[in-house]
Amino acid sequence: MRALLLLLTGCNIGLQTVPNLLDSGYPPLSTDDTAAPDNSDTDSGGEACLDDDSDGVTTCDGDCDDDDSSTFPGAAPDDSPSACMTDADGDGYGADSPASGVSPGTDCNDANSTLNPAAAETEFDGVDSNCDGEDGGSIVTASGQGGMAINDYSTTTSSASVSGCSSITDFTVNVSILHTYIGDLRVTLSPPSGPSVLLHNATGSTTDDLIGTYTPSGGTLASAQSLMPVLGTNGNGQWQLSIADGAGGDTGTLSSWSLDLVCP
């Protein structure tokens, strides 16, 4: 009898030491094969790329609302195509060059809220404030008569008519003067309102031809006098280019010349 009790007691102790798996905190094994699929991936940096709304566009592809399958970059017009634009500077305009997969906007500088399509343009300050691809102003061009002979001991003059430029911000004079001895020549530019400027003053000796550009900041040809006094003057009217040949033995041709005026 004593041996039987000991045997039963030992069995009871053994049963009590077996853990109850249902009450242990371990998750039960699932038999449901209809669980939602895992629509996630990772990008090259190891970040999770989610597609919880199953619209085929992950968060790494620019889906800014992964709970709404109708909102993603490139959605149909009725589905808010601009909803996923990047607006880092908070000015209300999405970046025009966002990350791959994100809808482009019209903000040319999404790091500066003062630069966007609604901003006022400050002309010629080196900054495209209103994102139109320009720094303000316009280019007015004019061409003078070409194909004119340059004879010894004479002056050849050609005119170009300009309109639409009330104030000159910058300008370029393009010349093609063919001559076998540019040391004979004096070339003068006469604007309609500003002072006349000597572009070439009998330098260069036996060098052939004057072909290139003159500008206030330099150009490909060095001007004999500064062109800075012409800036700010009214560019409308007749401009003249005069070429005086002060020696004999060499002649040439004013092949062509033109003006490019930068104006407000």
CATH number at residue 244: 2.60.120.260
Other residues' Cβ atoms within 10 Å of the Cβ of residue 18: 7
The total of structural domains in the chain comes to 1
Label residue 69 exposed, middle or buried (CB < 10 Å: 0-12, 13-18, 19+).
Answer: middle
The first and second tokens of residue 17, run together, are 């030491």
Closest residue by Cα to residue 164 from 142, 140, 135: 140
Distances from the Cα of 117 to the Cαs of 104, 107, 108, 236, in angstroms?
14, 7, 8, 31
Phi, psi of 84 (to 5 degrees): -105, 20
Compute the distance between CA of residue 151 and CA of residue 248 in angstroms, rounded to an integer. 8
Task: Decide if 130 is inside a domain.
Answer: no
Q: State residue 88's pLDDT score.
A: 85
Per the domain annotation, does 173 fall within a domain?
A: yes
Whether 126 maps to a domain, the answer reads no
Pairing of strands 148-150, 197-201: unpaired
Helices marked H in 1-44 — which ranges? 2-16
Residue-level pLDDT at 82: 63
What's the whole-model pTM score? 0.55
pLDDT at 18: 43
d(CA 247, CA 241): 19
- Give a yes or no: residue 13 inside a domain: no
The span from the CA of 217 to the CA of 197, in Å, is 14
The verdict on residue 65 lying in a domain is no
Half-sphere exposure of residue 249, counting CA atoms within 13 Å on the CB side?
6
pLDDT, tens digit, 9 for 90 and up, residues 227-240: 999 999 999 999 99
Residue 149 C-alpha from the chain's centroid: 45
pLDDT tens-digit series, residues 153-192: 999 999 999 999 999 999 999 999 999 999 999 999 999 9
pLDDT of residue 57: 79
Residue range(s) defining the domain that contains residue 186 = 140-263
In 3-state terms, what secondary structure has residue 211?
strand
> Is the pLDDT reported for residue 252 higher than 70?
yes
Q: Is residue 47 part of a domain?
A: no
In this structure, what token pair is assigned to residue 228? 């800075």
